[in-house]
């Protein structure tokens, strides 16, 4: 079971989480703390849903229902981290041949991609290197000869097991060799936990984080790569640039000062969402007074999609180094067609401490790295608690 994909998807669509928790086979191994330990707000959402459903006797689900739920989890948990020149989704009529390469693309992955690919597109496959830490000149040569006759490359990297945060050296060498061909490369990263992906981010045109490979990943990955599903996953953790970072041992977005590679709460879409009109129900409030924030989200792109709108809160004036810079205190998941807009309301926590607060709303947290990666600013408003 994909413990990372499960809470990522379910936090943004709680009805699916609660449906899953009805099934005994899906209750095993669920541990919010191991997945959302970085953020207390998300952990609490998970625990509330789990505790409520755990009190209800489990009822078995039929195979088709389980596959449907797990497919939703897997696609919902995938995070689009980079998409230069809008390489993804692979839908262009000019893309006649797609090379699917990598040690993580064999078996059900390539079969699922073939099933989801457009009718005009031919898929060719090469392993490229063994899944472990050994090199193979023969496999590399085969991958290069396969990639040369393709219009683009889907490169599937990662590991099924292991605790190393680094991709195996042969996989990085494979990436380097394929990039040298001058073909567009979309890297799909598998693994039970994120890797340090600085080299992948620099070299690949697109990067999709798919988490632990499961039997449901073939069809789900095909749906995302070929545009049947618009990715809406968000990073449930902060991913530092490398383990040389001073903050790598405590990489929570709540306290991290160095710029990460991929921040908590970050994730791209195939469409573009804009935010406007942020207003608070009051600008001055008494301690513990109920306050709400409202903004308008518009799908300004050309494809329908889900947006994970987020609200963060910052307390100004504190000099306590152990106090978070800001913290997540609201999520609303909305579906919008192109040109459609919708007003979204957040409930702020009841603030007991007097002082000035900043309320942020947007598709990610208000750090400079998220704004730069997504090319989308966040909105802000001030609240005085007196």
| Domain at 147, CATH number | 3.40.50.1700
User: Which residues have C-beta within 8 Å of that of residue 370, sequence separation ≥ 6?
Assistant: 263, 265, 266, 364
Same domain, 108 and 68: no
- Residue 152: what are its φ and ψ, rounded to 5°? -155, 165
List, as one string, the DSSP characters of 217-267.
HHHHHHHHHTTSS------SS-B-S-TTSTTTTS--TTT--SPPSB-TT--
User: Per-residue b/e over 321-360, b at no fewer than 16 CB within 10 Å?
Assistant: eeebebbbbbbbbbebeeeeeeebebebeebeeeeebebb
Same domain, 64 and 137: no
Identify which of 336, 343, 386 has the alpha carbon closest to the alpha carbon of residue 361: 343
pLDDT at 33: 40
Residue 233 belongs to a domain: no
pTM of the model: 0.91
Same domain, 103 and 66: no
Q: Which domain-ending residue is among 49, 76, 103?
A: 76
Q: Based on the structure, what is the number of domains in the chain?
A: 3
pLDDT at 24: 54
For residues 305 and 342, give the distance between their C-alpha atoms in angstroms, rounded to a whole number: 13
Same domain, 194 and 97: yes
> Which residues, given as ranges, of the chain have pLDDT below 70?
1-39, 42-43, 45-47, 49-61, 243-251
Residue 266 belongs to a domain: no
Same domain, 124 and 193: yes
pLDDT at 14: 57
Same domain, 311 and 351: yes
Same domain, 46 and 100: no
Alpha-helical runs (H) found in the chain: 5-12, 14-20, 24-27, 32-36, 40-54, 63-77, 108-116, 137-148, 169-179, 198-203, 217-225, 368-374
Question: Which letter does DSSP use for residue 47 in this model?
Answer: H
CA–CA distances in Å: residue 44 to residues 9, 81, 320, 346 = 15, 26, 25, 17
Residue 347 belongs to a domain: yes
The maximal CA–CA distance of the chain, rounded, in angstroms, is 71
User: Per-residue b/e over 361-384, b at no fewer than 16 CB within 10 Å?
Assistant: bbbbbbbebbbebbebebbeeebe
Residue 255 belongs to a domain: no
Same domain, 102 and 221: yes
SS3 156: strand
Residue 246 belongs to a domain: no
Q: Which domain-ending residue is among 30, 50, 76?
A: 76
Q: Which domain-ending residue is among 76, 101, 126?
A: 76
Same domain, 100 and 58: no
Residue 242 belongs to a domain: no
Same domain, 44 and 171: no
Do 38 and 263 form a contact (C-beta atoms < 8 A)? no
SS3 14: helix
Same domain, 83 and 66: no
- Residue 327: what are its φ and ψ, rounded to 5°? -140, 145
Taking each helix axis from N to C end, the angle separating 63-77 and 5-12, rounded to the nearest 10 degrees, works out to: 90
Same domain, 204 and 302: no
Domain coverage including residue 216? 79-225
pLDDT at 191: 87
Q: Summarize pLDDT for 282-331 with one digit per residue, the tens.
A: 999 999 999 999 999 999 999 999 999 999 999 997 778 778 889 999 88
Return the CATH number at 348: 2.60.40.10
């Amino acid at each position: 079971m994909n413990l990372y994909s499960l809470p990522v998807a379910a936090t943004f669509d709680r009805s699916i989480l609660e449906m899953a928790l009805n099934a005994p086979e899906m209750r095993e191994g669920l541990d919010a703390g191991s997945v959302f330990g970085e953020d207390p707000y998300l952990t609490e959402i998970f625990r509330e849903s789990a505790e409520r459903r755990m009190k209800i006797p489990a009822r078995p689900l039929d195979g088709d229902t389980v596959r449907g739920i797990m497919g939703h989890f897997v696609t919902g948990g995938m995070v689009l981290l980079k998409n230069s020149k809008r390489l993804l989704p692979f839908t262009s009529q000019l893309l006649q041949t797609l090379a699917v390469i990598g040690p993580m693309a064999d078996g059900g992955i390539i079969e699922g991609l073939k099933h989801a690919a457009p009718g005009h597109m031919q898929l060719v496959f090469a392993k490229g290197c063994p899944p472990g830490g050994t090199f193979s000149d023969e496999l590399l040569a085969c991958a290069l000869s396969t990639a040369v006759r393709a219009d683009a490359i889907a490169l599937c990297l990662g590991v099924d097991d292991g605790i190393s945060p680094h991709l195996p050296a042969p996989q990085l060498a494979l990436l380097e060799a394929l990039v040298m061909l001058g073909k567009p490369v979309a890297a799909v990263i598998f693994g039970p936990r994120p890797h340090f992906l600085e080299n992948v981010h620099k070299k690949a045109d697109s990067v999709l984080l798919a988490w632990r490979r499961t039997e449901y990943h073939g069809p789900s990955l095909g749906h995302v790569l070929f545009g049947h599903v618009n990715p809406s996953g968000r990073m449930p953790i902060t991913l530092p640039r490398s383990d040389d970072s001073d903050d790598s041992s405590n990489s929570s977005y709540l306290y991290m000062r160095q710029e990460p590679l991929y921040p908590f709460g970050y994730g791209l879409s195939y469409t573009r969402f804009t935010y406007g009109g942020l207003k608070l129900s009051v600008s001055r409030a008494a301690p513990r007074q109920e306050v709400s924030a409202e903004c308008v989200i518009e799908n300004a792109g050309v494809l329908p999609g889900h947006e994970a709108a987020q609200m963060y809160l910052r307390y100004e004036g504190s000099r306590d180094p152990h106090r978070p810079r800001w913290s997540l205190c609201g999520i609303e998941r909305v579906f919008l067609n192109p040109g459609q807009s919708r007003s979204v309301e957040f409930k702020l926590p009841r603030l007991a401490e007097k002082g000035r607060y900043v309320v942020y709303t947007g598709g990610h947290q208000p750090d400079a790295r998220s704004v730069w990666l997504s090319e989308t600013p966040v909105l802000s408003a001030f609240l005085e608690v007196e």
